[in-house]
Chain A
Amino acid sequence: MAIQTSINGKAVALSAEPDTPLLWVIREELGLTGTKFGCGVAACGACTVHVNGEPTRSCSLPVSEVAGKSITTIEGLKSADGTLHAVQQAWIAAQVPQCGYCQSGQIMAAVALIEKTGRPSDAQIDAAMTNLCRCGTYPRIRKAIRAATGQAAQAVEGDV
């Protein structure tokens, strides 16, 4: 029986076996390959997506668990007109990625952190950003999160 869920704002009916990890449904059934396979045991975070806004390691979450929930992948971060999310823009400005393979997961983790904390401290960044990067881009990830939250704070003030 199909599993009903929403991916990047679009309702979908998934035909995968219920024990299939969400990661493989996203990659192979939906063809959204921005979400990456790194370890399969939730150790590296390359597969991080948002499930109802929570950063989630999709390699270890059976697809049956996301029935009725809302999922956002890296492909869903851009606005409708194609403008990159402020965090993605900060990633380019800080020239964060090297090989880039972990960066979808890093960006999804960072967006969730910023949505939760507004302006994360270094300690909050350390606690939340547990995704692995073998290229060692951590200093630039930190820099980009700081830069992105600077912009977000200004935007919020401007709205008032």
Chain B
Amino acid sequence: MADNATVDNAPEAPLKRKGVKRRAFLIGGVAIVGAGLFGISIADSNAAKDAKARITGEGEHSFATWLKISEDDVITIYSPHTDIGQGANTGLAQMLAEELDAAWDQVRIVSAPAEPAFANVGLGRGFLADMTGKPAIINGIPQSFLSFIARQMNLQMTGGSTALRFTGQVTFQKVGAATRLALMETAAKRLNAPVGELTTQDSRVIHAKSSRSLRYGELAAEAATLSLDNEPKLKDPSQYRLMRQSMQRLDIPAKVDGSAQYGIDFAIPDMRIATIQAAPVRGGKLTSVDTAPALAIKGVEKVIKLDDAVAVVAKGYWPAISGLRALAPSFSDGGHAGVSTASIFAAHDAAIAKGEAEGEAGEGDVQAALGAKPIEAKYQLPFLHHAMMEPFALTAQYKDGKLDIWGGMQDPLATKMLAVEVSGLDADNVTFHPMIIGGSFGRRLPMYMEIVGQVTKLAMQLPYPVKLIWSREEEVAQGAYRPQSSAVLTASLTDKKRIAAYRNDYVQPESAESETVFPYILPAVSRRHFAHVSNQQTGAWRSVNSTQQAFYNESFMDELAHAAGEDPVIFRRNHLKADSRHLRVLDEVAARSGWGTPLPAGRGRGVALVESFKTIVAQVVEASVGADGMPKVHKVTTVVDAGSIVNPDAAMAQIEGGTIMGLSSAISEAITLENGKVQQSNLSDYPLMTMAQAPLVQDIHFLNSGAPMGGIGEPGVPPAAPALANALFAATGKRVRNLPIMTQAKG
């Protein structure tokens, strides 16, 4: 999002902005600053009409774009989100079905068509409003204008932990509630009974007084002709029977018997398989390649040269990859041959030394309060690869002037529009067919997925359909990594063990300000962003910038606690607002983890407290260092306040997995560069945490404070790395300031 949608934080944000360049909110060429007033509607009528035409057949009736009720009572929900395994679709179905009072065993949820009629207006409203700091309606941004913006953006994105809190709350609950009212109104007429005497349950409207009831399926045709209430009253949570329940995930059965069809599994008659190698130094071009060695391999049919890559098309993946490996293509280096991990860190140091920040946020006179001898620490973080288990794979067919693409993407509609742009075809002639995704973590956003353009270009010049599969080697070498980044933190303490001034100078391509919440109340604080852009593509890595900022701030808070001679939990408490959610989460994790109680020799506990995506997570990690110098995590205690939770078990799974991903990245993951090239080649030298390394005990507790709903897919990741580093300090007295830890363990 950061690339094409930025917005100033609202003036009411907790910290005043200083010297921040005022950037216009530009999306798809439309500036929304100073927008006029429009009415509010669940979905604009043209889009709803188009949606209806696309999804309804005989005996099926469409409601407010996203819902279809068939006369045999099957309820089909069209999701504008991609379920990447985070359980978003099950949660969305629970929310809509709850307000509809639908019979759960008759509810299906499928991917919405990748068409503008199904642009995610609710996400547009919620997400964009969230970025401005306040609900859109309070902020004076008209909801219908935000719908318009969502369509302009071709927004069908999954990311930012937004599915339930925006799409769910802004749209799906209301669609369910409004449809229920329309069904009741229809039933009232047929039963000749006042609406006030009717109730609903399990997809029926019931008139208890006369012991009569009507099925939703028999009411749907007429109800679908009514105009829906735009702001229906939603249920009181005490009436919930689907929300806040651990309903089994709808996508899981197909994922245990091999029947789930991921993008890489797609097949169509006459399809060929292609694989590709792009310039190993990003930014380079293909200069020459002798195609003969590949063509000599049985099964290879074509070698296709693209501007910056060479592709081999064959009867199967094995001849394709064998053919590609037989080639010795020459690539230029785009002038980036001198880039290395060390050169990037050197550039970071130089940027901070130069002192010209891109932006600054904070308050108070930090410089004066820092004094002559501040405490200072420098932290360095590597590029991280997403390492989702399914490598990139898209199938494309260009036939009779029409282009069809199949695969799994985090934004199907934007994928279609990208293919429109690359192919030069009209939007009506390009269709993207969304499929199940084998992991993503931010990697499958079309804005930095070269494979969309690549497969489009291949298909446009081939007389048969082609599935382009990236090898894992290509995947690792051509990532859209979490940026390599550095920070220098400085602070001064008062003689009462309080922070007098705190500065966080960090270097990475983009500002982290919109994702960063610094919960501590300090008299003087400053966050300064220094920009350095290398030749690498960087992108959103699960929890976006929160992992970097969490590591800097929560490591440094720990360093300051020790400098002050204070317990790290008490030190944090002393800088939090009384009665705040943050304080409650921290206290709860301290109590549940046995903070302060004795541990076996060699073990230490570390704590971290992080808010991301409006969810507050505190974590205590219990760790030691093994004989091999590698950290061993024994136990993790996590307390989460996401406001409220739609599906407790699915939310638990996100925190469990997010914690493991955070620990994995802290211990062993790094993408490094030498001579402009990525040095890692596969999962064998980009090691992920295994079963044996994962903590045996994870104690996770949700507080559910009733605050506005926060995200759940991402907030589990950021606290793990600093909590582990702090635990290792407690265990060994050695401070970890550079990740991954493994690099230092091995000397």
A positions within 8 Å CB-CB of B: 16-17, 19-21, 24, 27-29, 31-41, 43-44, 46, 73-75, 77-78, 84, 88, 91-92, 95-104, 107, 122, 125-127, 129-142
The winner among A31, A77, A92, A98 for most chain B CB atoms within 10 A is A98
With A33-B265, A43-B683 already in contact, 14 other A-B pairs whose C-beta atoms are closer than 8 Å: A20-B316, A24-B316, A36-B390, A39-B683, A95-B248, A95-B252, A97-B249, A97-B255, A98-B84, A98-B654, A103-B256, A127-B692, A129-B691, A130-B691
Q: A95-B252, A136-B659, A139-B656 are in contact. Are A41 and B682 (CB under 8 A)?
A: yes
CB under 8 Å from chain A, chain B span 346-389: 386-389
Report how far A139 CA is from B690 CA in the complex, Å. Answer: 11
Q: How far is the CB of B701 from chain A (nearest CB, A)?
A: 15
CB under 8 Å from chain A, chain B span 605-656: 649-650, 653-654, 656
Q: Which residue of A lies closest to B663 (CB)?
A: A136
Q: How far is the CB of B476 from chain A (nearest CB, A)?
A: 9
Contact yes or no, A17 B248, CB < 8 A: no
Contact yes or no, B472 A41, CB < 8 A: yes
Q: A74-B257, A139-B698 are in contact. Are A92 and B252 (CB under 8 A)?
A: yes
Return the 5 tightest CB-CB contacts between A and B, nearest first. Answer: A34-B258, A101-B438, A136-B660, A100-B255, A136-B657
Contact yes or no, A134 B441, CB < 8 A: yes
Q: A92-B252, A92-B253 are in contact. Are A98 and B653 (CB under 8 A)?
A: yes
Report how far A134 CA is from B84 CA in the complex, Å. Answer: 12
Contact yes or no, A132 B682, CB < 8 A: no
Could you say which residues of chain B place their CB within 8 Å of the CB of A27?
Answer: 265, 317
Report how far A112 CA is from B388 CA in the complex, Å. Answer: 25
17 contacts between A and B (CB under 8 A): A16-B316, A28-B273, A33-B265, A36-B438, A39-B472, A44-B389, A75-B259, A95-B249, A98-B657, A100-B254, A100-B436, A103-B256, A134-B386, A135-B439, A135-B661, A138-B660, A138-B691
Q: How far is the CB of A24 from chain B (nearest CB, A)?
A: 5
Interface check B414, CB cutoff 8 A: no
Report how far A4 CA is from B740 CA in the complex, Å. Answer: 48
B positions within 8 Å CB-CB of A: 84-87, 248-249, 251-262, 264-265, 267, 273, 298-299, 316-319, 321, 386-391, 436-441, 469, 471-473, 649-650, 653-654, 656-661, 664, 682-684, 688-692, 694, 696, 698
Contact yes or no, A84 B257, CB < 8 A: yes
Report how far A21 CA is from B318 CA in the complex, Å. Answer: 8
Could you say which residues of chain B place their CB within 8 Å of the CB of A43?
Answer: 682-684
Contact yes or no, A102 B649, CB < 8 A: no
Contact yes or no, A134 B691, CB < 8 A: no
Report how far A71 CA is from B389 CA in the complex, Å. Answer: 23
Report how far A29 CA is from B436 CA in the complex, Å. Answer: 22
Contact yes or no, A103 B682, CB < 8 A: no
Q: A20-B318, A37-B317, A142-B691 are in contact. Are A75 and B653 (CB under 8 A)?
A: no
Report how far A122 CA is from B254 CA in the complex, Å. Answer: 28
Determine chain A's interface SS by DSSP, over half rule: loop
Q: How far is the CB of B90 from chain A (nearest CB, A)?
A: 10
The winner among A19, A34, A88 for most chain B CB atoms within 10 A is A34
Report how far A110 CA is from B252 CA in the complex, Å. Answer: 17
Could you say which residues of chain A place their CB within 8 Å of the CB of B248?
Answer: 92, 95
Contact yes or no, A141 B689, CB < 8 A: no
Q: How far is the CB of A1 from chain B (nearest CB, A)?
A: 14
Contact yes or no, A100 B260, CB < 8 A: yes
Report how far A136 CA is from B661 CA in the complex, Å. Answer: 6
Report how far A107 CA is from B596 CA in the complex, Å. Answer: 40
Report how far A153 CA is from B436 CA in the complex, Å. Answer: 36
Q: A20-B316, A33-B258 are in contact. Are A99 and B84 (CB under 8 A)?
A: yes
Q: Which residue of A lies closest to B389 (CB)?
A: A101
Contact yes or no, B657 A135, CB < 8 A: yes
Q: A21-B318, A37-B264 are in contact. Are A135 and B85 (CB under 8 A)?
A: yes
Q: Which residue of A lies closest to B655 (CB)?
A: A136
Q: Which residue of A lies closest to B299 (CB)?
A: A17
Q: Which residue of A lies closest to B697 (CB)?
A: A139
The winner among B256, B318, B321 for most chain A CB atoms within 10 A is B256
Contact yes or no, B682 A40, CB < 8 A: yes
Report how far A54 CA is from B689 CA in the complex, Å. Answer: 24
Could you say which residues of chain B place their CB within 8 Å of the CB of A92?
Answer: 248, 252-253, 256
Contact yes or no, A36 B264, CB < 8 A: yes
Report how far A84 CA is from B265 CA in the complex, Å. Answer: 22
Contact yes or no, B438 A99, CB < 8 A: yes
Q: How far is the CB of A107 from chain B (nearest CB, A)?
A: 6
Could you say which residues of chain B place their CB within 8 Å of the CB of A84?
Answer: 256-257
Could you say which residues of chain A place their CB within 8 Å of the CB of B658?
Answer: 136
The winner among A92, A96, A127, A129 for most chain B CB atoms within 10 A is A92
Report how far A75 CA is from B256 CA in the complex, Å. Answer: 9
Q: Which residue of B lies closest to A139 (CB)?
A: B656
Of the candidates B262, B437, B440, B656, the one whose C-beta lies within 8 Å of that of A136 is B656
Report how far A141 CA is from B262 CA in the complex, Å. Answer: 21
Q: Which residue of B lies closest to A88 (CB)?
A: B256
Report how far A49 CA is from B257 CA in the complex, Å. Answer: 13
Report how far A8 CA is from B439 CA in the complex, Å. Answer: 28
Q: How far is the CB of B17 from chain A (nearest CB, A)?
A: 36
Q: A92-B248, A141-B691 are in contact. Are A24 and B389 (CB under 8 A)?
A: no
Contact yes or no, B683 A41, CB < 8 A: yes
Report how far A19 CA is from B260 CA in the complex, Å. Answer: 28
Could you say which residues of chain B place their CB within 8 Å of the CB of A29?
Answer: 316
Q: A40-B471, A98-B85 are in contact. Are A134 and B387 (CB under 8 A)?
A: yes
Contact yes or no, B273 A134, CB < 8 A: no
Q: How far is the CB of B583 from chain A (nearest CB, A)?
A: 28
Of the candidates B389, B471, B664, the one whose C-beta lies within 8 Å of that of A99 is B389
Report how far A16 CA is from B314 CA in the complex, Å. Answer: 13
Of the candidates B253, B258, B391, B684, the one whose C-beta lies within 8 Å of that of A104 is B258
Contact yes or no, A99 B472, CB < 8 A: no
Contact yes or no, B469 A137, CB < 8 A: no
Contact yes or no, B85 A17, CB < 8 A: no
Of the candidates B86, B253, B258, the one whose C-beta lies within 8 Å of that of A98 is B86
Contact yes or no, A100 B259, CB < 8 A: no
Of the candidates B265, B299, B688, the one whose C-beta lies within 8 Å of that of A134 is B688
